Structure 1
Amino acid sequence: MTVDETSSTKTLGASAKAVKKGASVLVLGTVDSATITAAQVIVQRGGDGGAAAAKAAGVIPFQQGTPSPSKSVGQIPDYTEGEGIIVSGTTAYKAVNAAQAIVPGGINDRVVKLSDGEYEVHNISVNWPHHVFVSKDFKVLGYE
């Protein structure tokens, strides 16, 4: 992914100078193909991009041509993928923050508010879990 910063991009967790190619960051912004225009860049601790925590959580890294396993953990809502309302701002940040705390290491390209008020955080850079479900009060319910 390429991250574009603007004059309004906010950097948290370290100075903007600390953000170099290969730095472990959480980027919130607008996605256009393989580029994110950053509204906020949060420098992650540990510097491994969450790799150790992701491995411990059972996250399966993306490998092209490898199908994702069909397994789930916790409570999975009755929903249809593609339905719901895409959310942004503070709400999306809270949902992504909750999801990354439990199943770190993914790139989240969208947060969708489901009809029951819960959220689906969509991972695009791991084979599993692809969807993390977060409650109205931003607690992870389950993932698949």
Structure 2
Amino acid sequence: MSTSGFTLTTSAGQKVTVNEASTTTYQNGTSSTSASAITTGKSVLVLGTTNGTTITATQVTVQPNDGGGSAASSAAGVVPFQRGAPSTAKRVGQIPANYTEGSGTIVSGTTANKATEAALAAYPGGVVDRVVQLSNGEYEVHYIGVNWPHHIFVSQDFKVLGAF
């Protein structure tokens, strides 16, 4: 921790510098809090703008129960990117029957943030580049930066349903 931010290690082992902006908001689960809630060993979700291994945070969420809550997952579920390594091809959970890549409408704002938060809590270690609302009202979170998953499906009430 410093006066302007903190450093974290992702579940894939990469060190990342998080810089605080004047507009950065902090949450502890779903409740508002302050930067003092960020302490060593806490699992956090950081939303913001990236530049290499630095994130200028717009929102920092302390994950419930120190990473043991229903919104968090263990690092064992993460498949870190390895250059030249083949992707793991698998599907888990529910994938919408009528899903086709490229379908849906891109969403932003609070809706996209909630879908992103759910996806990254279940599959930490990657980067979300867009959130799409599908015709059935669910969301497809497009996830890059790791070999798997690439698509994470989130319900209308922001629960992760499946991934591939």
TM-score, scaled relative to structure 2 = 0.63
2:124 to 82, 94, 105: 105
Matched residue, 2:9:
none
* Contact 2:94 2:162 (8 Å CA) reproduced: yes
Indicate how the Cα distance of structure 1 residues 86 and 35 shifts in structure 2: closer, same or farther if over 3 A, else same. Answer: farther
Residue 105 of structure 1: CA displacement?
Answer: 2.0
Deviations 1:86-122 (A, max 9, x none): 3333212321233244x33233323422341321223
Q: 1:22 to 1:35 in 2, by over 3 A?
A: farther
Deviations 1:56-76 (A, max 9, x none): xx4322222212111111222
Give the equivalent residue in structure 1 for 2:21: 6
Q: How does 1:54-69 map to 2 (within 5 A)?
A: 54-55=75-76, 58-69=77-88
Q: For residues 79 and 32 of structure 1, what CA distance do their matches in structure 2 show?
A: 31
TM-superposed deviation, 1:7: 0.7
Displacement, 1:19? Answer: 5.0
Q: Secondary structure at the match of 1:90?
A: helix
Question: SS of 1:70's equivalent?
Answer: coil
Return the alpha-carbon distance in structure 1 between the equivalents of residues 89 and 81 of structure 2.
15
Matched with 2:159 is 139
- What are structure 2's unaligned runs of at least 5 residues? 1-15
Q: CA RMSD in A?
A: 3.3
Distance in 2 separating the partners of 1:91 and 1:12: 16
**SS where residue 116 of structure 2 aligns?**
helix
Which amino acid is 1:68 matched to?
S
Q: Which has the higher relative contact order, 1 or 2, with Cα contacts under 8 A spaced 6 or more apart?
A: 1
Q: Determine if the alignment matches structure 1 residue 94 to structure 2 residue 108.
A: no
Larger Rg: 2
Could you tell me which runs of 5 or more consecutive residues in structure 1 were left unpaired when the two chains were aligned.
Answer: none
Query: How many residues are matched?
Result: 139
